[in-house]
Homo-oligomer: A and B are copies of this chain.
Amino acid sequence: MATTTVENYVKRIYLLAEPETDAFVSPGALAAEMSVSPGTVTTMLKGLAKAGLAEYEPRTGVRLTAGGETLALRMLRKHRLVEMFLVSVLKLDWAEINEEAELLEHAVSDRLLEKIDAFLGSPAHDPHGDPIPTAGGKIVRRNLVRLAGCEPGKRVRIACIRRQDAPFLRYILDNGLTPGEYARVVATDTEADVLRLSLANGTELTLGGKAAAEIEVEVISGKRA
């Protein structure tokens, strides 16, 4: 059985890898993501390779094997179903469920997970808009674009919040930018690196490029309503 630490490394590697690519994830990127020293990552990657969960190329990086990807998707399924459960059933604070799920995902058995899935009616996405892998390990990718790249006039529906830290999520929540909400891009300014948004409730707000890049949307129409 994989330890909690191994589960976390494999999950992070999966999330750092470009989807549909077979590129290697660099040790440095992983070290930053896991908040550990570079040497620790090197040691761990050798371990993952020996366990058959990943291929490790010294000075290049790491790539999950089929087995590693299966484990990563299982962890992602646990994490996201648990998040969904915490929000819809236990009414935990939307901005804090990520931290709770980070702990719980390692303690939820497959047996329990499927009960949770059934209870929730097999949702397709978690509260942040991320897709929930199926029990069979399939993940349905939607055709989303980053809000940062949207042109003025476009009407969009917020689909997914990529950054999961509590302060950012709190901002999203407080400003009505949660998945499912509608908005219109009023103006963009490349030089100033800002994007101006008009929300369904009539309010307007301005986002910096970095924040707007963390929000994925569905484009509803190419022109203003």
Please give the residue numbers on chain A whose beta carbons come within 8 Å of chain B beta carbons, in ascending order.
86, 89-92, 96, 100, 103-104, 106-109, 111-112, 115-116, 119
> Closest 3 CB pairs between A and B?
A107-B107, A103-B107, A90-B115
Contact A119 B86 (CB under 8 A): no
Chain B residues contacting A96 (CB-CB under 8 Å) are 111
Q: How far is the CA of A91 from the CA of B114 in the complex (A)?
A: 11
Q: What are 20 A-B contacts with C-beta separation under 8 Å?
A: A86-B112, A89-B89, A89-B119, A90-B112, A90-B115, A90-B116, A91-B115, A92-B111, A92-B112, A92-B115, A96-B111, A100-B109, A100-B111, A103-B107, A103-B108, A103-B109, A104-B107, A104-B108, A106-B107, A107-B107
Chain B residues with CB under 8 A of A109: 100, 103
> Across the interface, which residues of B come within 8 angstroms of A92, CB to CB?
111-112, 115
CA distance A86 to B91 in the complex (A): 17
- Which residue, A103, A106, A107, A112, has most C-beta atoms of chain B within 10 A? A107
Copies in the complex: 2
The residue of chain B having its C-beta at the shortest distance from the C-beta of A99 within the complex is: B109
Quote the shortest CB–CB distance from A90 to chain B (angstroms): 5
- Chain B residues with Cβ below 8 Å from A90 are 112, 115-116, 119
Residues in B whose Cβ lies below 8 Å from that of A91: 115
Nearest-neighbour CB distance to chain B for A132, whole angstroms, equals: 17
Residue of B whose beta carbon sits closest to that of A85 = B90
Across the interface, name the chain B residue whose C-beta is closest to A108.
B104
CB A113 to nearest CB in B, in angstroms, measures: 10
**CA A92 – CA B116 in complex, angstroms?**
10
Closest chain B residue, CB of each to CB of A119: B90
- Chain B hits for A86, CB < 8 A: 112
Contacts of A116 in B (CB 8 A): 90
CB-defined contacts of A89 to chain B, threshold 8 Å: 89, 119
Please measure, in the bound complex, the distance between the C-alpha atom of A107 and the C-alpha atom of B100, giving whole angstroms. 8
Q: How far is the CA of A90 from the CA of B115 in the complex (A)?
A: 6
Inside 8 A of A108's CB, which chain B residues have their CB?
Answer: 103-104
**What B residues does A115 contact at CB under 8 A?**
90-92
A89-B119, A90-B116, A91-B115 are known; give 17 further A-B pairs, CB within 8 A. Answer: A89-B89, A90-B115, A90-B119, A92-B111, A92-B112, A92-B115, A100-B109, A100-B111, A100-B112, A103-B107, A103-B108, A103-B109, A104-B104, A104-B107, A104-B108, A106-B107, A107-B107
